[in-house]
Chains A and B, each alone.
Chain A
Amino acid sequence: MSSTTYPASYRFAAPASTMSRSTRWLVIGVIAAVASIAGALTSPQMFYRGYLIGYMLVLGFSLGAMALLMLGHMTGGNWWMIGRRVLEAAVGNLPLLTLLWIPLWIGRHALYSWMDPAFVNSHPSVLAKAGYLNDHFWTIRAVIYFALWNLWGMALRRGSRQQDDNAAPAVWQRLKVWSAPGLLVYALTLTLAVTDWVMSLDATWFSTIFGMFFIISQLLSVMALMIVVLCSLREYEPYDRILGPEQLHDYGKLMLAFTMVWAYFSFSQWLIIWAGNLPEEITWYLDRITGGWQRVALGLVILQFALPFLLLLSKELKRDARKLMPLALLVLLMRYIDLYWIVAPNPFPGSDAAAHHLTYHWTYFAAPLALVSIWLGAFFRYFGSRPVLVVTEPMLPRLWEKSHGH
């Protein structure tokens, strides 16, 4: 089996344009980062909040990609074979994200009211969980999350590199062995991480679906990102051959499915909390449906769910890159708006009142822009350094022959 020679014709270098894309994004990233640093010095509370919005978005790209990559190792599928390098490049950014987490650690007191003992002592329900929600344990947990994420990221990348030269079934068997428990680790660590970093912004609020909501949000983000990247490369070899309408159709269907599940989780959480109308829960929504935030909420319902849902029902749209790509861009934009809507209305530390009025601050745009640009710069650098297809992939010849016939 391992002695089989694979046609050299499958071995494609990434399009040369990826490197220039990387440079372009890095330049934008550096400019936005400089602006953000100015923001950090002048209005730190605003800056850190903006940074958190951007950070959760790019973390979602990398972790969501890791989850899809592992899912693919277990189930296969054409969409996965074609988009695999996109996912791997996104996972390759995990060490970068580990570094980029440090500013959040520095700004933790500006972000979380429960870091202040006076606040904890005056809130019995926060005091009750102070053994869990405290400065030290919060930091220790983050170190554990990153250790696990990087461990799995490294294992997946190493296995993939081995696969480039070695077709032995043992190699992809090993990737499978990492993937099944990896998904479990992903679900649990992510749930705890978003509880630590996002849910605890409102120290008294809780919702048991929150982790699952972030899981599907991340899968949706990375699916949209994958569609945008692949569609933008569709003119180049070998994508011009393997990324036909048939394959795009599959991506469109997956984005439709994730959009529906996103709406399902969001609506379930809303309905249950609205119907219960309990003071410890409903306040979170009250902060988000008053003072101008209701317009953002409605925007999410329409632009993150209704419009993509209705458009993605069309078979023609799913098969046409020129239409699917702008829609995926809209989904990506709405992922940012959704995180904005979740993070920004929380009460600021030091004041019990929520940010009642729809708040804009330029760092809410600059910091996410810096993070996304730097993330994309590193992403394209990694993407450009690997061959586009995994030539030893057992199912590749079938995909290749099928597309050749067209």
Chain B
Amino acid sequence: MEHAPETKSSETMERLLPGQSPVLLPGHTLETITDKIVSIVLRRPVTLGWVGGFAFFFGLLNLMLLAMAWLFIRGTGIWGINVPVGWGFAIVNFVWWVGIGHAGTLISAILLLVKQGWRNSINRFAEAMTLFAVACAGVFPLIHTGRPWLAYWLFPYPNTMGVWPQFRSPLLWDVFAVSTYATISALFWFVGLLPDLATFRDAATNPVAKRIYGLLAMGWRGSARHWKRYESAYVLLAGLAAPLVLSVHTVVSFDFAISIIPGWHTTVFPPYFVAGAIYSGFAMVLVLAIPIRHFYGVQDMMTMRHLDNAAKVMLGTGLIVAYGYSMEAFYAYYSGSLYEWFVLKNRMMGPLAWSYWCLIIFNVLIPQVLWIRKVRLYPPALFCTSVVILFGMWLERFVIVVTSLHRDFLPSSWGMYVATKWDYMTYLGTLGLFFCAMFLFIRLMPMITIFEMRLLVPQSKLSEEAAHD
């Protein structure tokens, strides 16, 4: 019985390569899992490191509030945007953040539907990441309107002004796509949290915490009927969320592709945007997971297997993105079109060529180190690669938005784009918003799903089999 967990836990794996670690390191029982995850929130004292980190990102967040206050006073003229580049940082950051959210949905919904057990320990914080990323993304179009208090005009509702949105505009589709995405993600996240919130309620000793977790758990008692309803609701929500992984970034890509600007109007955009979204999303998952597992000692739950798999997903989606770049370049030539060809030349050799070549280095060349197994299994290297990819994906959107716009059909209407300090402050501010929220989440909610981790414990397999026989 003593060594039973070891053999059993390796059986929950698909083919285990020599040297590959399982999704849950041996030695855990149902009790130790619950205890470990609960104690991170309820019993671990607030450390200086946490306070320091939180304070830093809170500072960044305030930078954004400052920039936004000035924006509302002076208008979008404080940004670097002008004719011909009317979409600058705001849209670049919007696309970047929405893209990052996609990995969370992919992990929690699609990997659930295709029964990938390794998602279980990273799905909850990845979903939280999705929510916060979508919130950060939402900031940009809202403030880009200049009058965010009138943003509800974007929705079609009967009104006395005779204002009706333009349904042929992909920007309107974006409103629906992103708001649906935010709603489903929030629901999915909250429904998934219910059983664990009840566990927190039961484990909390502080009466106030007990009351709050109790309210949030919505009366969960863990009865068989609760579980049955929960399971079907969860799979149903996963089914709803799964197509969103494709549709949201597809609609975002339509923002560009539906126009006829060379560099924007290209049919490969939908799949290549989706792949890019997952690419950057997994990079963010690793940027979060690697420090979390280090500082909170959950290496036994977020194992090397998770890092390895996430790295492989990045490698795969990164290659699809690289395929997209090559298609753009190849068909710019093959089209025989003067303007397509010019856009390519301008990207590679124009005044913003640095951004194109940095993009190729960050997004295509450097990530090829992920072919090497040693890199995938060495967290610091993986962390650095992920940061590089996040930069690369940001540059990708910068290249698409700015280089396509700043020199269009007529040389007399060419211009240049330079971001101002307000642009940078707003961008850094959303990073602050994102990481502040993540810091709070880690301290207040179960960042690893307790009951799904318990399913990975050999004990649960045994009782399940006993129940079946």
Chain A interface residues toward B at CB < 8 A: 76, 124-129, 132-133, 169, 180, 184, 187-188, 191, 195, 204, 206-212, 264-265, 268-269, 271-273, 275-278, 280, 394-395
Contacts and interface: CB of A to CB of B under 8 A. Distances in A.
Interface stretch (B77-85, B326-334, B417-425, B447-455): B326-334
Contacts of B331: 206-208
A272 B337 contact: no
Interface string B242-286: 000010001000100111100001111111000000000000000
Contacts, number: 85
A191 B371 CA distance: 23
A195 B337 CA distance: 16
Candidate in B17, B250, B267, B341 with the most chain A CB atoms within 10 angstroms: B267
Given A184-B319, A210-B267, A276-B258, 7 more contacts: A126-B336, A204-B336, A208-B327, A209-B327, A264-B246, A268-B269, A277-B260
9 closest residue pairs by CB, A with B: A125-B336, A208-B268, A128-B336, A209-B267, A268-B270, A208-B327, A275-B258, A209-B268, A206-B335
Contacts of B14: 76, 395
Contacts of A212: 268, 271
A125 B337 CA distance: 6
A133 B335 CA distance: 11
B323 interface: yes
Contacts of A275: 258
B314 to A, nearest CB: 14
Interface of B: 14-15, 17-18, 246, 250, 254, 257-260, 265-271, 319, 323, 326-328, 331, 333-337, 341, 371
B202 to A, nearest CB: 36
Which residue, A126, A208, A210, A276, has most C-beta atoms of chain B within 10 A?
A208
Contacts of A188: 323, 326
A395 B15 contact: yes
A209 B15 CA distance: 35
16 contacts: A128-B336, A187-B323, A191-B327, A195-B334, A206-B335, A208-B266, A208-B269, A209-B267, A209-B268, A209-B270, A209-B271, A264-B246, A269-B267, A272-B258, A276-B260, A280-B337
A390 B257 CA distance: 47
Contacts of A269: 267
B363 to A, nearest CB: 16
Given A125-B335, A132-B333, A268 B267 contact: yes
B333 A129 contact: yes
Contacts of A204: 336
A132 B334 contact: yes
B267 A207 contact: yes
Contact of B327 (A211, A268, A276, A394): A211
Contacts of B259: 276
A182 to B, nearest CB: 12
A68 to B, nearest CB: 15
A359 B250 CA distance: 35
B12 to A, nearest CB: 12
Contacts of A210: 267
Most buried by B among A125, A133, A209, A278: A209
Nearest to A176: B17
B133 to A, nearest CB: 23
Contacts of B246: 264
